[in-house]
Structure formats: structure tokens, C-alpha cells
Structure 1
């Protein structure tokens, strides 16, 4: 017999119940932690994507606002090319890699050269290219290209499933651009991208106006 001060221990059944409850609580806690970590990662991914999209828009907006009417030559040394080409006209004229699609090519002003550090002008040739799922901005150090002129590629936005481009002339939008009706530069450019997460993204940019 137990004395009055004796303590009663847990039975095997009670111990099993306690362990089962503890296991459920632990599993729930781990699940909550995983959900929290996953949620934070998703927020970080969205923040990164939106930041990249805003930076791309800023670069494109600055480029297009400073488009100028200045013809140039490609490395083949052929005829002068008009200051802006887009769509099929650009893709068939501007040199690019086999897996690349030229969306637009143009000349812009305002390329900074602090204290004249580099032997070049403020004019810059810019090409927008779709390579795989990346929207690329391609530039070169000189306006007129030579055979071995180096080029610099900047990824503006990644993981795009589709990219479309259109050019405004008056009240009409068209998918290709070359000089027409006496106008060498369009009024605006429309860029449309399809993203697997954010769907269809569309932005209109004014062209020229800051010469």
C-alpha cells in the first residue's frame, strides 16, 4: 500500500496518449514554421521581380525618351541604317545570334561621359533583343560598328514567356517600324510581356522629346 504522500505515476496508456498529442503538436508547429518560411520566400521573390521590372521600365523609358534622328552603319559597312527600326524590319536588318530575336534598334542621346574619360560621343546605339526567356539590352562603345566592335548585354527582365512590341503612328499601332509617311521615329512604343506568375504586362513609352 502507498502512504498518504506517495505520488501516482503515469500509466502506459496515459504515456502513449501524451506522446501522441506531443507528436501532433510538434508536427503542427513544424508545418506552421514551414508555411511561414515559404511565405517569406514568396514575398521576397515577388519583391525581387517587381524591383527588376521597375528597373527595366526605368531603363527603357530613359532610352526611348532620348531617341534621336541619327542614321548609323553596321559592321558590314553598307548603306546607312535609319535611326529606328522595329519588329520584322529590325530583326531582318540588325545582326544578332541564331537564338536571338531583335525587337527594336535605335540611336539615343545623353550617354554620359564624365570629364571626357572615353573617346566617344554622347550618342549610343541600343538594341532590344529577346534571347530565350530574357529581355536583353545590347549596346556598343561606338555608334557605327566595325567588324570587331565589342558589345555589352544587360538582362532587363528574365523568365518571360512571350514578348510583343508595337509602334504608334498617330492613332494607329503597328507591329513593325521603319520610316514612313515622312516620319522616321514613332510617337510611342508599346512593350507587352507574358510572365508565368504575373500574366500579361503592358507598358507604353513615349519616343523622343529629350534631344
Structure 2
């Protein structure tokens, strides 16, 4: 005589399978959420790496070339610290090495660039020409978002005079000089990665 399952046994089996299904769903949801978080963090890490490469390239190709400001010639080749247009520190200078194959484009290989903090965004400002006409607005590229602060320091003499090997140098919070400083340190606080500091040597092209 064959004996079937009782109603209680069926209900118990259904409850067990329901618990297994709920646990599996919860585990799958956790895995998917973790994967989304990992992908989002990896994407932000890639943005951070590209931003640092851009900053490093610009600073290591800095050249001692002054620009015209509002049509007037000046002697400063680099200015940095608390600058107008930035919510925190900023820096502006001319870089070389801007690729122009066989000089086919109507511009030089020099480019004026600047960095600033604007509404928690680290921005790179640039223009096609070193000396622009009065009223020209530079182009803006957002490198990073959710940046809480930006601090830029300069390894140079406080007097900003020409540098000799035997002179004592120190980190200064601002710089306006007719010669490039020995090094530039850029430090910012990211909401995602915390405090990040990079120091770039301008004279030897190294970075640490």
C-alpha cells in the first residue's frame, strides 16, 4: 500500500524551499549590489588616474613663458595660490609639447593651462592660443567631482628670485615669479578617496 505525503509535510517542504529561495535571492542581490559598487569605484579610480596623468603631463612640460593679460605684457611665468575664479587654491602657467603635427594647425605647440576648484569640481582651463584677445573665455574641462578642497604649494625661495643649487628652498602656499619654481605639490581631498598629494619636480621632470 503506497503512502502519500501529509498536508503538514507538504507545508514544511514548501516553507523550506521558500526560505532557500529567499536566502538565494538575498545573496544574489548582495552580489549584484557589491558588483555595482565595485564597478562604480573602479570607474572613479580610472577618472582619478586620468586626472593625475593630465596634471603630471602639464606640470612636467611647463615652460618659463609669460603671457599677455588683458592685452598687457607681464613677466610672471607661473602664478598660484589663492587666485580669483577658484573656490580654493589655483595655478596657471604655459606648457609646451602640445602636439601639432608638422605645424599644420594655426597655433603653436605652447598652451596656457590653469587649474581651479569650482563648486567641488577640479577643473582644467585651457585655450588654443597662449596670448588671447581681450574678453576671451577659456575652455573648461572637469577632471574630478566631489572634491572638498584644493591646496597647491611651491618649492621655491620666498623672494621668487632665480634659483641656485645651493640656495635654501621651502614650500610656499603661493607663488608669482618670473622663473619656474623647483617643484609643485598638489593636494586635494576627495569624497571617495580621501586626501591625495602629489609632488612634481619641474626642473628634472620627476614626480613622487
Q: Which category describes the TM-score, using the shorter chain as reference length?
A: 0.7 to 0.9
**Matches of 1:79 and 1:114, distance apart in 2:** 29
Structure 1 residues 100-128: Cα deviation after superposition (integer angstroms, max 9, x where no partner):
55600001111111132221111110010
Aligned mate of 2:134, from 147, 150, 165? 147
Give the aligned partner of residue 15 of structure 2: 20
**Matches of 2:128 and 2:192, distance apart in 1:** 36
Tell me the number of residue pairs that the alignment of Structure 1 and Structure 2 aligns.
194
Structure 1 residues 178-206: Cα deviation after superposition (integer angstroms, max 9, x where no partner):
12xxx621111111111223211111112
**Matches of 2:80 and 2:176, distance apart in 1:** 7
| Structure 1 segments (4+ residues) deviating >4 Å | 99-102
**Matches of 2:56 and 2:192, distance apart in 1:** 24
Give the aligned partner of residue 194 of structure 1: 189
Matches within 5 A, 1:64-143: 64-74=59-69, 76-80=70-74, 82-88=76-82, 91-92=83-84, 96=85, 103-143=90-130
TM-score for the superposition, normalised by structure 1: 0.83
Structure 1, unaligned runs of 5 or more = none
Q: Offset of 1:11 from its aligned partner?
A: 2.0
Query: Cα RMSD between the aligned structures?
Result: 2.0
**Matches of 2:173 and 2:45, distance apart in 1:** 27
**Matches of 1:67 and 1:112, distance apart in 2:** 14
Larger Rg: 1
Give the aligned partner of residue 54 of structure 2: 59
**Matches of 1:208 and 1:127, distance apart in 2:** 19
**Matches of 1:147 and 1:176, distance apart in 2:** 26
TM-score for the superposition, normalised by structure 2: 0.84
Q: Offset of 1:209 from its aligned partner?
A: 4.5
Give the aligned partner of residue 199 of structure 2: 204
**Matches of 1:52 and 1:85, distance apart in 2:** 26
Q: Offset of 1:81 from its aligned partner?
A: 5.1
**Which structure dedicates a bigger proportion of its chain to strand?**
2
Contact 1:67 1:207 in 2 (8 A): yes
Structure 2, unaligned runs of 5 or more = 157-167
SS in 1 for 2:147: coil
**Matches of 2:137 and 2:187, distance apart in 1:** 29
Q: Offset of 1:79 from its aligned partner?
A: 4.2
| Closer, same or farther: CA 136–151 of 1 in aligned 2, 3 Å | same
